[in-house]
Each structure stands twice: as structure tokens, then as C-alpha cells.
Amino acid sequence: MVDTETFVPDAVAEIDEEIDDANAVIALSGGVDSSVAAALAYEAIGDRLTPVYVDTGLMRKGETDQIRETFDYMDSLRIVDAKDRFLEALGGTTDPEAKREIIGEQFIREFEREAKDADADYLVQGTIYPDRIESEGGIKSHHNVGGLPEVVDFEGIVEPVRDLYKDEVREVARHLGLDELVAERMPFPGPGLAVRIIGEITEEKLEVAREANHVVEEELEEYEPWQALAAVIGKATGVKGDNRVHGWVVSVRSVESRDGMTARAQEIDWDTLQRIQSRITGAHENVARVVYDVTHKPPATIEYE
């Protein structure tokens, strides 16, 4: 386990030395990794760090507000409302990798503009140890901000949590006094709800996915899952009131894992599952059914795309 008492001052000193008196930029994702990296870098260089949060419209419920609150103490924080641009760029795209690529490219475009505007020479990233292993093994085609270093011509990349596992990053977050919600927040993929919506991304599917993910996170908190999520996986027939509807099928998934490379589906009690079902079908008139995914990783992945 990481010794936070020594890790924090060492990391801050290292960042300070690396960046010296230049400017830096970091993409905040809302997750614990980039939050910790940002807090460390801000401690090292203050407002010469520009933290950029791009609201893609694919984020969890309340995420943007939470970012605003947590990082309110950083005067240089920038929140970019890019929802419409992401939805437009995605258009009717259905292929999972094409969707990831569009999101990645749009993200780079948004971020590049902010980085140039901030006159940043350095890029700070919240890369953690398992990310490096997965990308070296070619498992993940697009990590959060993969591609950024190649596109924007930075003088250097600073990765203060590169040797830590997720649970260690959480410990550092708590040590730094980062909001408990951020410290405990489940990992959330860079492409956001897009990997929890099979096929075309529409405002309606996003609405269903956002509310369903909120319900699942809330209801399954006590199971302390590595990730608990909900995905819109297709359409099926249901009955709402007196009418048959062809509505959305929402799949609920809750897994245990240390680093996301393998995972076990969790056993959830029936009453909790029924409560989740009832809240999700009740939240949106076009949800016809809710299913629970019992598949481990492997053979399934954690996300749906």
C-alpha cells in the first residue's frame, strides 16, 4: 500500500521540479485519478495549472455540478459545455469503435483549444498503473484522453499517480481531503454513457441511461462494487398501463474487481433487484424491462461496448 504521508509531498516536489515555472493543463474527468493528479499539480504550481472539464453530455447525473463544487478552490478551473457538439458529431453512428473514435477526436478538439488558450507547455494526466499495463497490451483502444500527447505539442507529460493502483489513488484522495464522493466514486469510462448505450446515441437513450445509472449506484452502494452500472441494450415489448409498448431494455451490472482487468459479477438480493427494477421502469415511460447481468469478466467485459 502507498504511504500517503510521504507520497504526497514527494509527488508535489516532483511536479514542481518537472514543470518549473511553465504552465500546465489537465483534463478533469470527474473520476478519482484525474482529480488526485489535478489536486497534486495544483498544490505544486497553483493557477499555472489549468484544469479543464469538458461536459460531453455523456456524464453521470450531477457530475458537472459536483466537479464545480469540488474544484471551486481552483481559480483557473474551466468548465466547457460541449454537449451539443458531441451529440452532433456522434450523429447516427452505431459502431462501438467508431463511437469511441468520434468521442476521442471531439474531446481532443475541445481540449486542444483550451490548452492553447491557457498557453500550456505541460500536460498532467491521471494515468494509473493498470492503465499503462492495459494500453501496453493493446486491450483498450482509447483511454480517457488517449492521443492527446500526439496531437498537442507539449513539452512534457506529467503523470503523478502512474505507479498507483486504484485503491491507492483513493487513499491519496482521502488524505488530500478531496470530497468523499470523488474519493469513493466508481471508475467511469472516458467515453462515458456512450459505452453503456448499444447502437446510436440519442437524447432519449441518454436520459434513460443517466437516470438508470444513478439508481443503480445509489441502490448498490452497500455492496461496495468496483463498478455498478446500467446499460440501454435494446428494445423489447412491455405493458405500461393498458398499452403494449416497444420500450428500452436496461441491463444492470455490478462487479467486484481490483483493477478492472478481470471482474466477478456480484450476487445481489432479490428485493434490491426488484427495487432497482421498479425505480428504473418507473423513471421513464419508455423502459419496458430491466435485466441483471450475471456474467464475469472474462468472458464478458465490464462495459457493454
Q: Distance between CA 24 and CA 248 in Å, rounded?
A: 43
- From residue 211 to residue 240, what is the string marking binding to ligand XMP with x (rule CB under 6 A)? ----------------x-------------
- In three-state secondary structure terms, 59 is coil
* Under rule CB under 6 A, residue 99 binds ligand XMP: no
Q: Distance between CA 25 and CA 143 in Å, rounded?
A: 18
Q: How far is the CB of 175 from ligand XMP (least distance, A)?
A: 23
Query: Which of 100, 185, 205, 210 touches ligand XMP (CB under 6 A)?
Result: 100
Q: Distance between CA 90 and CA 105 in Å, rounded?
A: 11
Residue 211 neighbours by CB distance under 10 Å: 19
* Under rule CB under 6 A, residue 189 binds ligand XMP: yes
Asked if residue 34 belongs to a known ligand binding site, the reply is yes
Query: Which of 38, 195, 206, 265 touches ligand XMP (CB under 6 A)?
Result: 195
Is the omega angle on the peptide bond into residue 298 within 30 degrees of 0, that is, cis? yes
Give the CA radius of gyration of the chain.
20
Which DSSP state fits 298?
A: T
Nearer to ligand XMP, 190 or 247 (CB): 190
Q: Distance between CA 179 and CA 66 in Å, rounded?
A: 9
Q: How far is CA 4 from the centre of its chain?
A: 24
Q: Distance between CA 173 and CA 169 in Å, rounded?
A: 6
Nearer to ligand XMP, 8 or 230 (CB): 230
Residues 32-91 that bind ligand XMP (CB under 6 A): none
Nearer to ligand XMP, 189 or 247 (CB): 189
The answer for residues whose C-beta is within 8 angstroms of residue 196's C-beta and 6 or more apart is: 209, 213, 229, 230, 231, 232, 303, 304, 305
Nearer to ligand XMP, 18 or 217 (CB): 217
The stretch among 15-23, 140-148, 202-210, 277-285 that binds ligand XMP (CB under 6 A) is 140-148
Strands 264-265 and 243-256: antiparallel
Q: What is the maximum span of the chain, computed from C-alpha positions, in angstroms?
A: 68
* Under rule CB under 6 A, residue 289 binds ligand XMP: no
The stretch among 121-129, 138-146, 152-160, 265-273 that binds ligand XMP (CB under 6 A) is 138-146
The stretch among 80-88, 139-147, 150-158, 209-217 that binds ligand XMP (CB under 6 A) is 139-147
Query: Which of 36, 260, 277, 288 touches ligand XMP (CB under 6 A)?
Result: 260
- Give the number of residues in contact with ligand XMP, rule: CB under 6 A: 16
Binding-site residue numbers are 29-35
- Residues contributing to the site for ligand XMP (CB under 6 A): 100, 140, 142-144, 187, 189-191, 195, 227, 260, 297, 301-303
